[in-house]
Structure 1
Amino acid sequence: MKTTFLNAGSIREQVPLCALLNHLGHKPAKINGDEHLYFNVLKSAESKSIFLVNDQLNIWYDRLTKKSGNVIDFGIAYWPDLNPDQVTEKISKILQISKQPAEIQTANNGKRKRLPVKIPFYHIEEIKPVGCNIEITTYLQSQGLWEISIGHLKEVYYYVVDEKRRRKEFFAAGWQNENGGWEVRGKNFSGCLGHKGMTFIPGSENILILFEDYLGYLSWKYANKLRGPSILILNYPEFLEAAKKRIAKFHEVAVFFGKQHLNAELLSAIEGINPRKIIVLQ
């Protein structure tokens, strides 16, 4: 019998993160409604590194690495030595071997199991300037981001409607990427609403500064008041190859990356950019 693997789209829509984590041996330390809290899922050496899963939205956030995403993004982070195609195959194999989760498998007795409900989409309801919501303000202050967020970040109010037509509302601080998606940061979730993408802020046609993330850019912006270079923000490491093509048009390029990501692999990846100057933010 030929083995058929689930594709990435099917995995994203049908595989519950909590079920996959359970099969991998991770049990939630605490469950609060839709929020499931785990420790040290991404094999952190730090004691009790916090990993959060929103079971309703089927998304996750790791507080130590600041990574987040869907079930495929989790697989890429969990098995860093595998490429995306290998990750989807591995998840598919895990589900077939274990006959789990039951929602997407049919038991040997021929009885059809309950199919999973498709994960609902986010709906953006309102965008406001920061300072309107005390909880968002408190979060930004706790992260040391309040002063640099003014005039740059927005308050993003969004909701989902589940299969029982129940509406759940959320809010977070965020900024918009060039594909129309909103990159949001909050106490219990950081991720993207809509399509992932880079963020481009036009300036000089000759000089560009490449940032790893928007918060790194804001820190630089706060210390450098003058307008000048164009800004390109990756938002996600997987956009590095696309960034190389984008910045080839600029005569001078400065690259800013956070210390935690300064490693041989990353430095090797940016060699093709050939910037006049590489600066590392500490």
Structure 2
Amino acid sequence: MKKNFLNAGSIKEQVPICTLLKHLGYKPAKINGVEHHYINVLKSAEIKSAFVVNEQLNIWYDRLTKRSGNIIDFGIAYWPDLNSEQVIEKISQFFQISKRPTGIQKTNGQRKRLAVKIPFYHIEEIKPVGCNVEITAYLQSQGLWEISIGHLKEVYYYVVDEKRRRKEFFAAGWQNENGGWEVRGKNFSGCLGHKGMTFIPGNESSLILFEDYIDYLSWKFANKLLGPSILILNSPEFVEAAKKRASKFHEVAVFFGKQHLNAEVLSAIQGINPPKIINSP
């Protein structure tokens, strides 16, 4: 009999990334407040901790691969041969989590797993880049300062946890089409609010598909003329949605760095007609 596994939303609510990492055999090299720093999670032979988990928001960022996201995004990065559905099934099996009828507190004498409470965050202010010296320094250190001007914003937000404690943060970011903000900073990168793709309208018959907004900015810096419509995934979980959107265009190009071409993305590219792949430098 096939087990009825939780959906992605339930996995995100019930399984902390730090707990999954512990089950996978990883211990934090250091803990700085709510940030847990790990070594050799997505890449081996690391000297310094590059993988960071924000325990409050239950999201992660890897400085070496420049990837980030929630627990499902981590599973896709950690098990590159699995698609999102297989990752959900694997995590469910890992923690023996399955759906139970609403309102039932015990099954076969076992307590129902309680969902982990994720703190509330609030975006306080949005400013153009150049107002905050730390954000500017971060963008300069990543070689992004020139291409960020006029495209990225400074996002100021705070988190209130279940004990009503408030902590303020800021980062560079851009807004996706669902109103959420994709942010990038020195110690954390992820999404605030609803995750979504970013669409920039252009030529109605041609489309370029990017995996990450930074790749798009690098391309735009070298291609200043108006041209095709742009669709940016922002997260691997939108591969199938991007594939459907791309099918409405006559010409489709895919601009991905080689290091980001995981199995799921490649599968989607193969379904795009014509599948023209442009590798970033």
TM-score norm. by structure 1 comes to: 0.84
The higher relative CO (CA closer than 8 Å, separation ≥ 6) is in: 2
**Most deviating of 255-264 and 219-228:** 255-264
Task: Tell whether the 8 Å contact from 2:81 to 2:263 is kept in structure 1 after alignment.
Answer: no
Mapping 1:176-191, distance limit 5 Å:
176-191=175-190
Which residue of the partner structure matches residue 80 of structure 2?
80
Structure 2 stretches lacking a partner, 5+ long: 98-105
Task: Please name the residue that 2:17 is paired with.
Answer: 17
Pairing of 1:141-220 with structure 2 (within 5 A): 141-220=140-219
Shift of 1:30: 0.6
Deviation string 1:81-125 (CA, Å, 9 cap, x unpaired) is 44444434443443359xxxxxxxx9xxx9989966511132111
Conserved in 1, the CA contact under 8 Å of 2:239 and 2:264? no
Q: How many residues align?
A: 271
Per-residue deviation at 1:222?
1.1
**Quick one: structure 1 residues 216 and 120, their matched pair in 2 at CA, closer, same or farther if it must change by over 3 Å?**
same
Contact 2:73 2:237 in 1 (8 A): no
For 2:157 and 2:20, locate their aligned partners in 1 and report how far apart those are by CA, in whole Å.
27
Aligned residue identity for 2:207: L
The one-character-per-residue Cα deviations of 1:181-206 (angstroms, maximum 9, x if unpaired) are 11111111111111111111111222
Question: Counterpart of 1:241?
Answer: 240
Residue type of the alignment partner of 1:241? E
Q: Which amino acid is 2:195 matched to?
A: K
- Structure 1 gaps of 5+ residues are 98-105
Q: Aligned runs of 1:23-62 on 2, under 5 Å? A: 23-42=23-42, 44-48=43-47, 50-62=50-62
Cα contact 2:206–2:228 (8 A) shared by 1: yes
1:206 to 1:54, Cα distance in 2 relative to 1, 3 A:
same
Residue 218 (structure 1) shift: 0.7
**Whole-Å separation in 1 of the counterparts to 2:76 and 2:140:** 31
Native 8 Å contact 1:18 1:55 kept in 2: yes
Q: 1:193 to 1:81 in 2, by over 3 A?
A: same
Deviations 1:8-47 (A, max 9, x none): 44432233322232232211111111111110123x2342
Q: What SS does the aligned partner of 2:243 have? A: helix
Q: Find the aligned partners of 2:218 and 2:141 in 1 and give their Cα distance.
A: 15
Identity rate of aligned residues, in percent?
82
Pair 1:198–1:153, CA change in 2 (3 A): same
Q: Which of these two proteins has the greater Rg computed from alpha carbons?
A: 1
8 Å contact kept, 1:209–1:231: yes
Cα contact 1:206–1:250 (8 A) shared by 2: yes
Shift of 1:237: 2.6
- TM-score normalized by the length of structure 2: 0.84
The residue identity in structure 1 corresponding to 2:152 is L
**1:21 & 1:279 partners in 2: Cα distance?**
34
Shift of 1:239: 2.1
Do 1:209 and 1:254's aligned partners in 2 also have CA atoms closer than 8 Å?
yes
